[in-house]
Amino acid sequence: MVLDDFMMVDVGLIAPMATNPRKRFDEAALVELTSSIKDHGIIQPLVVRGTVHGFDLVAGERRWRCAQRAGLELVPCILKELTDLQVAEIQLIENIDRHQLSPLEESAGVCRLVELGMDPEMVASKLARSDEWVQLRLHLPSLPESAKQALDDGRMGLGGAGQLLRVDVAERDEAVQLLMELEGHLTEAAVADLLRSRYHEPRRRRAAWEKLGAVSAQKYGERSAAVTDVETSYEYVQPWGAGVGHWVPTDDEVGGLSRHPAESIISWGELADQHEVPTLLVCAGEVLAENVVEVVDKRIIVDAERALREQGKTCTLGPRKQSAEIEVESEQDEAEESFEQMVCRHIMAALELRHDDEQLAELLVPVLEVIAERN
């Protein structure tokens, strides 16, 4: 046998190689090629390399299959002495040039070349493709099986697969499940929109929140601890009313900015300091220093104030004063309180006892606001 020379080979001595990246063959195309071979024979020789028992089929598997269907006993071949790396290179280049490979088949071929020692940059050069083209196919095997199936059957394109690869490996199975619930073709834009809102944006917010940690610690001191994950802030605060900066607790059980303007004569933060109650730092909106809100479980403070009252000691909960300073009232001062102050005190006591009663709040808060305006 002469290498790199044309020769006729018994079709039964040729065996296809498992390394061929092309795994699927269109039946209609095989029928058409078989008919052509019956009429005109095989025009382009197959590429083979010698083995102990025959020949490995390096390139031309479609022609070999159709030659068998057409009943040919001998097929034209070019015999080459090739390494495994050279075989993988030829197989991939031939199939890519003919646009006959699916993305996953291209991926298998590219990964094979890298496994055999070819640098990704050299793969890109050999295939006349960009580095990004090669890198994307090197990472396709890490996709969940359901994503590979969607890519294989055409429901998801390479653009969508690339977007999915940007998601952390631990989150990809969940991400694919969410994508599979979408109707229609998973375009790159559709995949990007879902992944951005569910994964990329929260990841960006978490990174920004971690950077704010040191700044927040200096501002609020040791009494405050920041929530670990900024996304859990929404368990504590939500937008309310008009204008930036109006944030209130979702269940009125924590205090940032008070829902009721006349609810206390000092801030909840000051009360937390007075009773040594730990507070929590959360984020009200975009992750910026000015949106960091200190919240405290109001029930702890209310209980502490109630304990002081039962002991006959001065407590600080009551109607809001015009002065920023806390006025310490003695029992004699309480006896001389005005009618408006007495009304406010009783209303506040009712709101404290029935803090979950929205109807009661709607009835009593306007009264407090009127009294505050008059005073």
The amino acid at 217: A
- Select which of 61, 263, 294, 305 is catalytic: 61
Contact at 8 Å (CB) between 64 and 46?
yes
Q: Which residues contact 106 (CB under 8 A, 6 or more apart)?
A: 21, 92, 96, 137
Distance CA 258, CA 267 (A): 9
Measured CA to CA in angstroms, residue 177 lies from 2, 333, 368 at distances of 56, 66, 52
Measured between alpha carbons, how far is 238 from 206 in angstroms, rounded to an integer? 18
Write out the H or E segment, with its range, that includes residue 249: strand 247-249
Taking the C-alpha atoms of residue 63 and residue 72, their distance in angstroms, rounded to an integer, is: 11
Spatial separation of the C-alpha atoms in residues 344 and 163, rounded to whole Å? 58
Tell me the pairing of strands 14-16 and 55-59.
Answer: parallel
Q: What share of the chain is helix, strand, coil (3-state, %, to 5)?
A: 55, 15, 35
| E-strand stretches of 279-352 | 279-283, 292-297
Which residue in the block uniquely carries the two structure tokens 């790159």? 188
Cβ–Cβ < 8 Å for 34, 102:
no
Does 362 participate in catalysis according to the annotation? Answer: no
- In this structure, how many other beta carbons lie within 10 angstroms of the beta carbon of residue 347? 21
Cross-strand pairs, 74: 10
DSSP string, 355-368: TT-HHHHHHHHHHH
Residues catalogued as catalytic: 61
